[in-house]
Structure 1
Amino acid sequence: MINIPRTIVLGHSGFKNVYPENTIIAFEKAIKAGADGIEFDVWLTKDGKLVTLHDGKFNMGNKVYYIKELSLNALRKLHPHGKFIPTVDELFERFPNSIFNIDVKDKEAVKPLLKLVEEFDSFDRVIFSSPSPEMLKLIREHSKEAKLGFSIVTETGIAKVALLKRNLNLYSLHVPLDGISYVGFPMFVALLKWARGLGIKVFMWNYEMDELFWLPRLKGLYDGIIADNAVKVLNLLELGVI
């Protein structure tokens, strides 16, 4: 299913910086805009529910709460966006034809997450991603068919790619546009070509760069975009700019 004959567009945390991240509102807006799927983060609650939150803790009323210490019901009552935080099984039910890039934040979430994906018979449309080689190794130990994505978050991350490809059968590399500011544009282009030459899918994502400026300049060097603004990126794709 992921073999779409064009660049794949996934909503970054749903619809990053426009709607509350990792919420059902953001996910629905991205899918309705025409995105092929969504990217989201996963943690496991105290009562064993897989929820879509970026961080393992949050502040509310001058108090710090940890996701792993709260039940789903308590989380939805206490978190600022609580009532809009879906469980992962709710996403599978609501978006049965969408691609999911799941950033696994919690190692205790690995086994229940893999079980859930198996129950929905959805290994063909899910990428399990992480910036941690140890997390990817753990996922691979429990599943031979999981598609693994390595997220680059440090300058040294690129040095681990070839080894991960060989040892874990890495499916994709998730590269931040921000890398351009660290290594320069020519070297960045060379690294993308090198990764694709290894038979690895390349997905671009963004932290602080202008994705609408840089994506056209990298056209042909990536297989997917984890888009901050799905609407604007899809417009560029329709125009053939990216």
Structure 2
Amino acid sequence: DLTAMIAGIDPSLDIAMTTNGILLEEKAKSLKAAGLKRLNVSLDTLHSDRFKDLARRDALDRVLRGLTAARQAGFSPIKLNMVVMRGRNDDEILDFARLARGEGYEVRFIEFMPLDADGIWSMDSVVASREIIDAIDREFPLEPVPDQQPAPATRFRFRDGSQGGIGVIASVSDAFCKVCNRIRLTAEGHLRTCLFSIQEHDVKALLRGGASDDEIRDFVAAAVWQKEEGHKIGQADFVRPAKTMSQIGG
């Protein structure tokens, strides 16, 4: 319903969704019909036992069936987001590269960030994007995608022309804060100008309070002007946000 509401405002909007994929098998066709343009699926492992440990549910088969349903519904390309954690799933990097080549997915390898619910993050658990690309390139030679627009992911394609693609989000080892143009609106109606913000800007209060469009526009603009210069991960004055990634959403 939400997708259709947004698409109804302007059908040309580039509406995308990031999902755990568990309900995709049932929902993919209706989401496509409602106007969803792009689909990102969070998937950190291809092993059932490891999936159960990481996702706290035994649902890997459902996610894989959901990916098939999404392809059949016409979503292309489908992006897979894999958070790489040293000692937990970094042995699957090549497996995901093979999946990209075999099924045409664009796999985004994301450096592990201190936003996990278990609080186990440390710099030692981060697999740097350069290490990821080097590992894939040795097995499946890569080349940069030309003319990339500013975005969190640095993208590569397979040099032999195979389908699929690879991207890395180097949010820890090579932060892109100075060119970041992203803000998030949380499910609670708050603006976050950085994933690692320690404060949020309450847009919902303005909406519920009857603020005019101009007042809301000025409020958002003022929040953007306060956007942090950087997240400071690895620095002595880094402050870990109180909210985890699953709580932030957006």
TM-score (norm 1): 0.43
Point out the structure with the larger strand share.
1
Where relative contact order (Cα < 8 A, 6+ residues apart) is larger, the structure is 1
Point out the structure with the larger helix share.
1
